[in-house]
Amino acid sequence: MSLQSDWTWLIYMAGDNNLEGAGKEDLDEMKEVGSNDRLKIVVQFDTEQNKTTRYLIEKNGLKILQEMPGVNTGDPKILTDFIKWGINEFPAQHYLINIWNHGGGWENLPTDYDYESLRASKPGLASKLKRVRRSIFRNTIKKIDNRSPADRAIAIDVGAADYLDNMELRTAIFNALPDNKKFDILGCDACLMNMLEIAFENKDVANIMVGSEETEPGTGWPYTSILKKLSEIPNMSPSDLAKAIAQDYGEYYENNGNAIQDQSATQSALDLTHIQPVAESLNDLANVMIKNIDDIAGQVLLARQKAQKFDMPEYLDLISFLDELIKRLPQNKAVADAAKKTLSILKSEQDKFIIANTKWGPRVERASGVSIYFPEHDYLEDYGDLAFSKQYQWKQFLKTMMNA
């Protein structure tokens, strides 16, 4: 066991898929900085080679801490075990839990998904592939919408034909909490993860969440620049580190992004300790819209069409949607006032929920930091399994819109 450091950065690298090559490149980025007495960078890397290795990232090197046969990164117990082990071996004042994988928001995979489609014929080429959209996160629910694989979330652990869903992610992290104390930062180096629903799902396991509203380019996070900052200021606060991740990500793609291959990039930091007022005000808006649905359905649909969307068009930037809604409903004071209240909470400088937001590329000019599910058609019933859906009325609003 090491002496307590300022930060331990635990990276759960699920590379048993076509991202194995990208994982190796990210390890190289991390090695440019490496661990020191005050910062420990620890990786569990599962690969297509049926091998899982735990590393301590050192300056210009990888120290092998443990080798084992390939694990199922879609098993919540595997993530829990890694986090507990990392905390025990590298105790720290602050912890960042980094989920590294494909990503795709809240949605689940169809039961007949072709996992082998995520195999990389040459793992070294995987870093050149755009990160596949859709979800790393799955739950073993019985009723799953049977959209074609091309339209649904994709999984990560190809060898095990499994993945984690958001509920399993929360459970896995919750079961690893040290002394029931929330982790400082949950980082998702994965696509489409900074949704209000996912943030709400994880509000009891982390204080801050960092991730992307949009699909991430294949390069993912710029680990060298982020870790260099943290290494130079090891007593950096969680809030400052979260902001630095978002800022460095934006700067990296501003300077290095390929407009054809990468197209766009977003990254934001959400303070989960301030999510409750956002969720409650959005619940009030949902209730008002339900009551007035016959009068406003057309304007709401138009606001949805005009709002900022992402690779999955049913994911809308929340602030963009509220802006469009307010423009189109001045005659309905109840709905307009409720939308303005939610918008003012999201934009408030006091008790900020969105503490950092960066974006690059013309496709995401109105990205503000957090998205929400609002399909035009084909509402997915398993949306109701999320904690946000169980507690608030946005789910009922979506169903009411579908009926209208």
Domain that holds residue 258: 5-273
268 and 302: one domain? no
Residue 87 lies in a domain: yes
Residue 151 lies in a domain: yes
249 and 284: one domain? no
Last residue of a domain, one of 240, 273, 306: 273
What's the rounded mean pLDDT across residues 259-267? 85
Last residue of a domain, one of 220, 248, 273: 273
121 and 84: one domain? yes
Render pLDDT for 143-172 as a digit per residue (tens, 0 to 9): 233 333 332 233 356 666 677 888 889 999
Nearest to 205 by CA among 78, 95, 101, 74: 95
267 and 279: one domain? no
Rounded CA separation 324/319 (Å): 9
Which of 138 and 385 is assigned the larger pLDDT?
385
Percent of the chain exceeding pLDDT 70 equals: 86
| pLDDT over 50 at 345, yes or no | yes
| pLDDT over 90 at 20, yes or no | no
- CATH value at residue 201: 3.40.50.11970
62 and 155: one domain? yes
Q: What is the pLDDT of residue 114?
A: 61
Q: What is the pLDDT of residue 152?
A: 27
Beta carbons within 8 Å of 374's beta carbon, 6+ residues apart: 304, 314, 315, 316, 321, 398
Q: What is the pLDDT of residue 124?
A: 38
Work out the angle at residue 185's Cα, subtended by the Cα atoms of residues 97 and 118, and round it to the nearest 5 degrees: 45
Of 154-158, 186-190, 254-258, the poorest mean pLDDT is in 154-158
Last residue of a domain, one of 244, 273, 302: 273
Residue 321 lies in a domain: yes
77 and 148: one domain? yes
Render pLDDT for 49-93 as a digit per residue (tens, 0 to 9): 889 999 999 999 999 999 999 988 888 899 999 999 999 999 999
Nearest to 370 by CA among 288, 308, 327, 325: 308
In this prediction the pTM is 0.89
Of 24-33, 97-106, 158-167, the poorest mean pLDDT is in 158-167
Hey, which residues does 51 pair with through a beta bridge? 69
208 and 317: one domain? no
200 and 319: one domain? no
Beta carbons within 8 Å of 350's beta carbon, 6+ residues apart: none
65 and 76: one domain? yes
Domain count, the chain: 2
What's the rounded mean pLDDT across residues 242-265? 90
109 and 71: one domain? yes
Six token digits for residue 110: 């169809």
301 and 342: one domain? yes
* Per-residue pLDDT band at 135 (split at 50, 70, 90): very low
What's the rounded mean pLDDT across residues 287-305? 96
3-class SS shares of the chain: helix, strand, coil, % to 5: 40, 20, 40
Six token digits for residue 191: 């696509």
70 and 28: one domain? yes
Residue 331 lies in a domain: yes
Q: What is the pLDDT of residue 115?
A: 57
